[in-house]
């Protein structure tokens, strides 16, 4: 999450599998994600959520079902909390952040570091992607 001045308010990823001694099933992971986002909505005033448009070509059906389930949960929570939803394709995101819609992930990470004044890469690629989505969501009206 970022403020309008590009200061990072909160960032990270939810690693529900790591928190549990036994591997959680998809439904338990969905519950954890719903609870986590609900807490964020209570803690912060969130105006906009930027999401990546999804398309699956090489993923198995279980992955697609899980991701679309999470997406439905997040969209529902956004609607309940009057949070505007913006969607961008991976190509739009890369083009906006780097100037090249086919840029490698490492270039996106370097651009994110520069935009936010970070001294090191975010620990997880997904966190860098989230910061890129937050940036594009703020800049495109």
pLDDT in the model for residue 12: 63
pTM, two decimals, is 0.80
Are the CB atoms for 87 and 51 separated by under 8 Å? Answer: yes
CATH numeric code, 16-139: 3.30.420.10
pLDDT digits (tens, 9 = 90+) for 125-140: 778 888 899 999 988 8
**CA distance linking residue 41 with residue 82, whole number of Å:** 10
Phi, psi values for residue 26, rounded to 5°: -60, -35
**CA distance linking residue 63 with residue 93, whole number of Å:** 22
pLDDT in the model for residue 79: 97
Residue 121 has pLDDT above 90, yes or no: no
**Domain boundary assignment for the chain:** 16-139
pLDDT digits (tens, 9 = 90+) for 42-59: 999 999 999 999 876 665
pLDDT digits (tens, 9 = 90+) for 104-114: 989 998 998 99
């Amino acid at each position: 999450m970022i403020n309008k001045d590009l200061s990072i308010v909160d960032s990270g990823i939810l690693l529900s599998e790591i928190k549990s001694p036994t591997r959680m099933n998809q439904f338990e992971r969905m519950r954890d994600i719903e609870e986590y986002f609900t807490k964020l909505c209570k803690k912060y005033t969130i105006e906009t959520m930027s999401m990546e448009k999804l398309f699956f070509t090489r993923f198995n059906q279980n992955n697609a079902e899980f991701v679309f389930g999470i997406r439905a949960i997040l969209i529902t929570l956004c609607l309940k909390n009057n949070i505007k939803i913006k969607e961008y394709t991976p190509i739009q995101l890369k083009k906006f952040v780097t100037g090249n819609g086919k840029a490698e992930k490492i270039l996106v990470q370097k651009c994110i570091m520069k935009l936010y004044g970070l001294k090191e890469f975010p620990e997880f690629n997904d966190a860098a992607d989230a910061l890129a989505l937050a940036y594009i969501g703020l800049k495109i009206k």
